Amino acid sequence: MQRIESLFSLLLEEVSVYQEWRRLVFQYRVSGVQVHDCYIAAAMQAHNITHLLTFNTSDFARYTNIAVVDPATV
């Protein structure tokens, strides 16, 4: 049986992710439950990931460096 980890590239949680998250929180005045989406955006930016496939496209609209794609459009 193939382990799911072998299908994906796993990225480390580095200090750069926290630093980017903190910068984004202040830049966009993120608060409440939106800090979780902000952390995803920060990790993506820290690791140079440019596209996100999600049903919640509006949650990521403020992060202009990320191309957000709704699965219904693929």
Task: Give the residue, 30 or 11, on which the prediction is more confident.
Answer: 30
Q: pLDDT averaged over the chain? A: 94
CA distance 72 to 54: 9
Integer Cα distance of 20 and 17 in angstroms: 5
Question: Looking at the predicted structure, is the pLDDT value of residue 2 above 80?
Answer: no
Query: Is residue 65's pLDDT more than 80?
Result: yes
**What is the predicted pLDDT for the residue at 5?**
81
Average pLDDT over residues 22-33: 96
DSSP state of 66: S
Q: Which has the closest alpha carbon to 70: 60, 59, 56?
A: 56
What SS3 state is found at 28? helix
